[in-house]
Amino acid sequence: MSKDTDLDIGLDRRTIMKLGAGAAAVATTGLAFTGEPALANEPAPTARPSLGAPLSRAEGPLKVAGQARYAIEQKLENMAYGVTVQSTRAAGRIISIDTSAAKALPGVIDVYTHQNSLKINKPTFYGAGGGATEVFTPIQDDIVRFNGMHIALVVAETFEQATEAASLLKVVYEDASPILDLDDPKAKPQPIDAMATAWGDAPAALASAEVKLNATYTTAREYNVPLEPHACIASWADGKITVWEPSQWVGGARGVVAEWLGIPIDNVRVISPYVGGGFGSKIGAHPHVGLACVTSRELGRPIKVSLTRPQTFTGLGGRPATRQNLSIGATKDGKILSIVHESWNETAIDETHVEACNNVTKIMYATPNLTSRLNVVPVNAVMPGWKRGPGENPSAWALESAMDELAYALKMDPLTLRLANWADVDPSNQMPWSTRQLREAYAAGAEAIGWWKRNPEPRSMREGRQLIGYGMAAGAYPMIRTASEAKIVLHASGQIEVLSAGTDIGTGTYTILAQTAADALEVSVGSVMVRLGDTILPRSALAGGSQQANNLAGAVARAAKNARDTLLSLAATDPKSPLAGAKISSLTFEKGVIRPARRTRGGISFADLLKAVGQTRLEVEGNTFAAGATEDMKNGADRSFAQLKGATEGGLSAHSWCAHFVEVRVDEDFGTIRVKRMVSAFDSGRIFNPKLAESQWIGGMIMGLGQTLLEEGYVDQRDGRTVNANFADYAVPVNADVPDVQVISVGIPDMRATALGGKGVGEIGVVGIAPAIGNAVFHATGKRIRSLPITLEKLA
Ligand code: MCN
Ligand code: MOS
């Protein structure tokens, strides 16, 4: 970062300045990033790895060396520690909380409960049912909504003192009878009419169809479990607050913090340069962050609040349990005539999270008749949130399992059935697809796994006591288009900075933005530094909904175009420029050099031009869309949800597509399932960095494997406690569970979907894995399991 920067980067600067060894390591990858001054002196690689090159993650060496400082690793003077206390009952009221023993301990500063509450305003920022976070604000009343709800915050000089004091609170409850899950007879489903879809006359078409299938599919309550638990530092000073919070969307967190505290959005800064995974659970700032913020204001000290791993299971919610009833009516030769669909998902007892279980159902196949209704079921559990592929993931589980069932009922190959029902346009709105390389995905995946060589008969293939099964399934994820802003700073030193509030949650944002700028400015990627994850930087779409890469890279490309235009005009018009007096249209900008278009050599580099005209830096901005900021952005918020989901300005339906093929082995005696191979082909349009995109797809597929075979939140039916709230009992896949995984990209640049022709990558991998495995288990065993996870008890 050069000295003349006008950005106050505070603690970030200190972090960055210390990174001697890490910086050298970064330079060897050929990629500079995040404002590292030493990097300008490193030799830049000569080749120009453009957008599309398989570069390694720019920030990887810093993370490996432990030099990337995560939110709660910030060191602040005079910090106090907050520990939350959680309800041990699922429903009812708190009669009293005796805090005297806790307060008597050395080091304890105060204990906050609803009896001496610090006011936290109800947030509206994400909108009701937005799913990004809960509206629930802790310690504002005596109502017990679920087991594990924050009911107190103990603040002490050290974390250990606060933890001990937290164990000494005496809480007296008045119990009420809780509603614990979807199957609870007391549960009262509520229809979400606004999300119902219908065309044609689906019930009539179903009734008269030659072949009918009806089945109910369920998914279990799941958790996001990123490696970095949810934890933050809030620091109030002079009417302003700074929050270090692992965030997929610092702009959103800023809006919520402002609302919680009742202060202007400009008085809030949220910083999040590194995030140890979120998978949807860090889109919104959760209630413990609100507690940290109000306590810091109250005490005038920085407060750190870290949830323990068990607390992350109830301090915020994951994917809710879902149930779907699906009927398909078809002709004898496999033409779908009707789809009748209804879904139910758990939500908090007094808040609405809708899992859009028809997102894939309504676009995948050409059906002349469809009806779909969604319901939520309030239960005494933490408000659910988003987990990778929310909506699309359970939607594909039901639809793609049902398609397999239909194929077997028709004695048709499952892939042939899908091709027979190919949708030429989006059946839900008749929009043409922007691009849909799904046939190519089917073909590539089938070829790679050897689909046509299998014996399609269930339970027909084996190796000793191991039953062999093949299964396939497909899926989709919409391209969400959201305005984002980026700034490019050209320095007279030759260095280029890219600045945006967007975040890199482990996906590769730092890397692809450096590639985008280098590509557009035709310079070495090593001369580009990227700074992210801070609300003082230009506003960005969230790293969620698989939208950030395309929207933000589009903004960077536009800023780069503006940089080129600005440089040409500076060269032609500034009297001190050696090219002064030239016509702008007669000049070109190539590989960082400005020269008359008729010449092939000579000219002046942008750095020398800046020096010649006496400027140390040149700042340019760019927005994803030609029209610039959205109305919401103009109003000062980053309420980037005013977006076009799955549709382009030109009236096209834009989605990523996938086709998964898996081979499983099921032990005939024990019913244990091992996935042996997974091959998936993806259409995510143009790929910015194949190494990173492949890693994203594979990560999603493995998450899908966890969902299919392992992950399930257990609730104690006596008291609503989440029983397996830890990594020992809530199993996620480890290396030993992960088979041979192959991914294939079949996308083509989709210039009508996004500025650079890419589509979403981050979530599509998890959509459709569960039915692919489930279908393979059916092929292996002849048993159809319709509830996730597929465990050996269910197969027995
Ligand atoms: N990419 C690419 N070419 C494209 C699009 C993307 O090469 N055409 C690559 C880039 O490396 C980019 C990455 O894929 O950084 C993801 O891009 P995108 O699909 O736009 O997704 P976002 O940047 O919006 O990231 C969020 C997305 C979501 S919604 C979840 S959930 C998820 C995911 O990313 N959570 C993750 N992947 C994750 N990966 C990690 N390590 N941690 C998480 O929490
Ligand atoms: Mo992803 S669940 O939209 O963060």
Phi, psi of 337 (to 5 degrees): -110, -25
User: Does the C-beta of 730 come closer than 6 Å to ligand 2?
Assistant: no
Distance CA 634, CA 625 (A): 14
Distance CA 746, CA 439 (A): 9
Atom 16 in ligand 1: which residue has the minimum CA distance?
A: 762
**Residue 770: alpha-carbon gap to chain centroid:** 19
Q: Which two tokens stand for residue 13?
A: 């600067």
15 Cβ below 6 A of ligand 2: no
What's the chain's average pLDDT? 91
First vs last C-alpha separation in the chain: 62
Which residues have C-beta within 8 Å of that of residue 143, sequence separation ≥ 6? 93, 94
Specify the ligand 1 atom closest to the Cα of 248: 26
Q: Are 254 and 638 in contact (CB under 8 A)?
A: yes
Cα–Cα distance, 769 to 519 (Å, whole number) = 35
Band of pLDDT at residue 125, cut at 50, 70 and 90: confident
563/619 Cα distance (integer angstroms)? 8
- pLDDT(294) > 80: yes
DSSP state of 581: T
Segment 564-569 shows an average pLDDT of: 97
Place of tokens 């030659």: 210
d(CA 296, CA 282): 21
CB within 8 A of 200, min separation 6: which ones?
A: 338, 367, 368, 369, 370
Choice among 126-140, 171-185, 438-452, 723-737 with the minimum mean pLDDT: 126-140
Ligand 1 nearest atom to the CA of residue 551, by list position: 20
User: Which residues neighbour 718 within 8 Å (Cβ) at sequence distance 6 or greater?
Assistant: none
Contact criterion met (CB below 8 Å) for 563 and 620: yes
Ligand 2 in reach of 246 Cβ (< 6 A): no
- The tokens describing 601, both together, are 């050599």
pLDDT of residue 633 exceeding 80: no
Strands laid side by side in the 740-745 sheet: 462-463, 466-478, 655-667, 673-683, 740-745
Q: 554: CA distance to ligand 1 center in Å?
A: 15
Q: Specify the pLDDT at position 553.
A: 97
Ligand 2 atom nearest residue 388's Cα: 2
Tell me: the pLDDT tens digits for 731-751? 999 999 999 999 999 999 999
Given the residues 245, 668, 763, 793, the one annotated as active site: 763
Percent of the chain with pLDDT over 90: 87
| Confidence bin at 426 (pLDDT 50/70/90) | very high
- Ligand 2 mean position, distance from CA 547 (Å): 9
- Please count the other Cβ atoms lying within 10 Å of the Cβ belonging to residue 156: 24
Tokens 């059935």 label which residue?
417
What is the rounded distance in angstroms from the CA atom of residue 299 to the CA atom of residue 683?
52
d(C-alpha 170, C-alpha 100), whole Å: 9
Ligand nearest to the CA of 764: 1
Kindly give the distance from the C-alpha atom of residue 496 to the centroid of ligand 2, in angstroms, as a whole number.
30
Does ligand 2 have an atom closer than 6 angstroms to the CB of 386?
A: yes
Q: What pLDDT score does 43 carry?
A: 34
Contacts of 142 (CB under 8 A, 6+ apart): 93, 94, 95, 114
Answer yes or no: is pLDDT of 5 > 80: no
Does residue 283's CB lie within 6 angstroms of at least one atom of ligand 1? no
* Burial annotation 89-118 (CB, 10 A radius, 16+ → b, else e): bbbbebeebebeebeeeeebbbbbbeeeeb
pLDDT digits (tens, 9 = 90+) for 696-710: 999 999 999 999 999
> What backbone torsions phi and psi does residue 327 show, to the nearest 5 degrees?
-120, 140
Residue 721: name the closest of 287, 387, 382 by CA. Answer: 382
Buried b (16+ CB within 10 A) or exposed e, 592-630: bbbbeeeeeeebbebbbbbbbbeeebbebbbbbbeeeeb
Query: Is the CB–ligand 1 distance for residue 132 below 6 Å?
Result: no
Is residue 763 part of the annotated active site? The answer reads: yes
Q: Take residue 582 and report the two structure tokens written for it.
A: 């030239």
Q: Phi and psi dihedrals of 786, rounded to 5?
A: -110, 5
Beta strand segments in 200-283, E:
211-219, 231-237, 240-244, 268-271
- pLDDT of 305 strictly over 80: yes
| Per-residue pLDDT tens digits for 148-200 | 999 999 999 999 999 999 999 999 999 999 999 999 999 999 999 999 999 99
On whether the CB atoms of residues 507 and 781 are closer than 8 A, the answer is: no
Determine which residue's CA is closest to atom 29 belonging to ligand 1. Answer: 544
CA distance 547 to 571: 36
The proportion of the chain whose per-residue pLDDT surpasses 70, expressed as a percent, equals 90
Q: In this structure, which ligand is nearest to the CA of 760?
A: 1
Evaluate if residue 45 carries a pLDDT over 90: no
Predicted confidence band at 391 (pLDDT cuts at 50, 70, 90)? very high
CB of 287 within 6 A of ligand 1: the answer is no
Q: Whose CA is nearest to atom 35 of ligand 1?
A: 279
What pLDDT was estimated at residue 127? 62
Rounded to whole angstroms, the Cα distance separating 225 from 727 reads: 9
Whole-number Å distance between alpha carbons of 93 and 172: 9
639 lines ligand 2 (CB under 6 A): no
At residue 39, does pLDDT exceed 60?
no
Give residue 33's pLDDT band: very low, low, confident or very high (50, 70, 90). Answer: very low
Looking at residue 765, its amino acid is G
Going by C-alpha positions, the residue among 779, 775, 774, 781 that lies closest to residue 796 is 781
H helices present in 574-623, as ranges: 606-612
pLDDT for 541 = 87
Residue 651: per-residue pLDDT: 87
Tokens of residue 720, six digits: 């609503």
**Centre of ligand 2 from the C-alpha of residue 502, in Å:** 14
Ligand 2 neighbourhood includes 252 CB (under 6 angstroms): no
What distance separates the 2 farthest-apart alpha carbons in the chain?
85
Element (H, E) at 111: strand 108-112
Q: What is the spatial distance between Cα 687 and Cα 701, in angstroms, rounded to a whole number?
A: 18
Q: Is 452 left (phi over 0), alpha (psi -120 to 50) or beta?
A: alpha
Please give the full DSSP string across 739-786, using - where no structure is assigned: -EEEEEE-----TTTSTTSB---TTGGGTTHHHHHHHHHHHHHS----
The DSSP secondary-structure symbol of 74 reads: -
Shortest-distance atom of ligand 2 to CA 545 = 3
pLDDT in tens, 678-689: 999 999 999 999
Ligand 2: which atom is nearest the Cα of residue 281? Answer: 4
Mean pLDDT for the stretch of residues 763-790: 98
Query: SS3 for 509?
Result: helix
Say yes or no to pLDDT of 519 above 90.
yes
Residues 314-344 have pLDDT tens digits of 999 999 999 999 999 999 999 999 999 999 9
If pLDDT is split at 50, 70 and 90, which confidence band does 624 have?
confident
The minimum-distance atom of ligand 1 relative to the CA of 687 is 3
Q: Any residues with CB less than 8 A from the CB of 728 and at least 6 apart, and which?
A: none
User: What angle (nearest 5°) sits at the alpha carbon of residue 722, between those of residues 719 and 724?
Assistant: 135
Which segments of 353-405 are extended strands (E)? 369-379
How close is the Cα of 143 to the center of ligand 1, in Å?
38
Instruction: Please report which ligand is nearest the Cα atom of 252.
Output: 2
**Backbone conformation region of residue 78, classed left if phi is above 0, alpha if psi is from -120 to 50, else beta:** left
Q: Which ligand is nearest to the CA of 132?
A: 2
Residues contacting 98, CB < 8 A, separation 6+: 169, 170, 171, 172
Q: Is the CB of 656 under 6 A from ligand 1?
A: no
For residue 545 and ligand 2, the question of a CB distance below 6 A is answered with yes
275, two tokens: 């995030």
Tokens representing 315 are: 């301090």
CA-760 nearest atom, ligand 1: 19
Pairwise pLDDT comparison (702 vs 635), residue with the higher score: 702
What are the residues whose beta carbons fall under 8 Å from the beta carbon of 363, sequence distance 6 or more?
423, 426, 427, 428, 476, 646, 653, 655
- Range with lowest mean pLDDT among 249-258, 421-430, 475-484, 630-639: 630-639
In whole angstroms, what is the distance from residue 137 CA to residue 467 CA?
51
Residue 394 banded pLDDT, cuts 50, 70, 90: very high
What gap in Å lies between CA 511 and CA 504, rounded to an integer? 9
For residue 280 and ligand 2, the question of a CB distance below 6 A is answered with yes
Give the distance, in angstroms, between the CA of residue 87 and the centroid of all CA atoms in the same chain.
Answer: 29
* Residues 682, 746 contacting (CB under 8 angstroms): yes
Spatial separation of the C-alpha atoms in residues 69 and 496, rounded to whole Å: 23
Beta bridge partner(s), residue 232: 305
Q: Tell me if 108 sits within 8 A of 165, measured CB to CB.
A: yes
Whether the Cβ atoms of residue 259 and residue 284 lie closer than 8 Å to each other: no
User: What is the mean predicted confidence (pLDDT) over 250-264?
Assistant: 94
